[in-house]
Amino acid sequence: MILAVDIGTTGMKMGVFPTTGRTPDPVRQFSQEYDVNIYNDGLFGDIEQDKWKRAFTAGCEAMEDVISDVDVISLSGTTPGLTAMDADGEALYPAILMLDQRSRKQARHIVETVGMESLLQTTANMPVAGGCSLASILWIKDNCPEVFNKTHKFGHSNTYIAHWLTGNFAIDPSSASLTALYNTVANDLTWNEDIASAFSLSLGRLPNIVPAYESVGRVSEAISRKLGFRKAPAVLIGGNDAVLAAYSLGIEQPGEIINVNGTCEIAMVCLDKCLVSANYNIRAHVLPDRWLT
């Protein structure tokens, strides 16, 4: 059995699927909403990561009759959901979400420091508040230095949940694309050392980048007992929720288009070349040699 988990912006969806068939029907489904914190005249948007763990736990309890047979867990996550974690994977600050606007100053600083053309030719992204993890990291550095100094790893929602389950830190290319630190154009599973060093950010504070379909480890014995997993399932890091929505609908060939209506509306075009532009941002697809606007 496969447990698919969508860590959404305002709620979690979970489904248990058989391992046969390209698009099998779920054996069990679960969903639970949670509140996002909106404050400071709407400029700030974040969420406590414990809400993700509680929703995940509730889903396992609701589907306990099939959870014991799960072999694999695959993650999909709201991106960015910038999370500062200590060495044990505990969150040090609420996850800063994609629509958050607190880091406008830091986003401008990134452009001024690195240059728009250099950013586009390497990361394929224009830094924007909320939608760029580096800007959020710099906001934490400027406004919460004690959090910044204690942070062992900066990651996204799938990084946090994967570590909770397995004890290993990881992120995938589609999620890493929205950091302004990933070499999205090359899409070679590497962080951009020049950009990171320009802001005195050690690459050791970023998680390993692994393909969406690769396992980052198995669910620990303690978590398996708590959640009812009998087989210590392998955990796939998965990817950005919008990119996985595109993949689920068969968006694989250049020129194919999808419009996603979720917390926000996203129109994406599939590319076989990373055609950078100041008019749109690009993220890596979960497929090799493919990108999505």
Q: Is residue 155 part of a domain?
A: yes
- What are the pLDDT digits (tens) for 120-134? 999 999 999 999 999
User: Cis ω on the peptide bond leading into residue 26 (within 30° of 0)?
Assistant: no
pLDDT in the model for residue 286: 94
Q: Is residue 42 part of a domain?
A: yes
Q: Is residue 260 part of a domain?
A: no
> Residue 234 sits in which domain range?
2-241
Q: Is residue 276 part of a domain?
A: no
pLDDT reading at 262 higher than 90: no
Confidence of residue 23 (pLDDT cuts 50, 70, 90): low
Q: Is residue 46 part of a domain?
A: yes
Structure tokens at 112: 């001024």
**Spatial distance between the Cα atoms of 288 and 57, rounded to a whole number of angstroms:** 33
The pairs formed by 250-256 with CB atoms below 8 angstroms and a separation of 24 or more are 251/292, 252/285, 252/287, 252/290
CA distance readout (Å), 135 to 43, 105, 183, 231:
14, 8, 16, 40
Q: Is residue 39 part of a domain?
A: yes
Q: Is residue 280 part of a domain?
A: no
Helix axis angle, 50-62 relative to 157-166, nearest 10°? 60
| C-alpha torsion sign, points 184, 187, 190, 194 | negative
Q: Phi/psi class of residue 124: alpha, beta or left (left: φ > 0; alpha: ψ in -120 to 50)?
A: left
**Spatial distance between the Cα atoms of 83 and 92, rounded to a whole number of angstroms:** 8
**Average pLDDT value over all residues in the chain:** 95
Q: Which amino acid is at 169?
A: F
* 257, 231 contact by CB (below 8 A): no
pLDDT reading at 227 higher than 90: yes
SS3 string, 162-202, reads HHHHHCCCEECHHHHHHHCCECCCCCCCCECHHHHHHCCCC
**Spatial distance between the Cα atoms of 164 and 90, rounded to a whole number of angstroms:** 8
- What are the pLDDT digits (tens) for 184-206? 999 999 999 999 999 999 999 99
Into how many domains does the chain fold?
A: 1
CATH number at residue 210: 3.30.420.40
Q: What is the reported pTM?
A: 0.94
Q: Is residue 269 part of a domain?
A: no
pLDDT in the model for residue 19: 86
- Other CB atoms within a 10 A radius of the CB of residue 180 amount to 30
Segment 70-99 shows an average pLDDT of: 96
Segment 45-68 shows an average pLDDT of: 95
Q: Which amino acid is at 60?
A: C
pLDDT in the model for residue 265: 82
CA distance readout (Å), 169 to 154, 224, 276:
9, 18, 29
Strand order in 28-33's β-sheet?
Answer: 28-33, 11-17, 2-7, 72-77, 234-240, 215-218
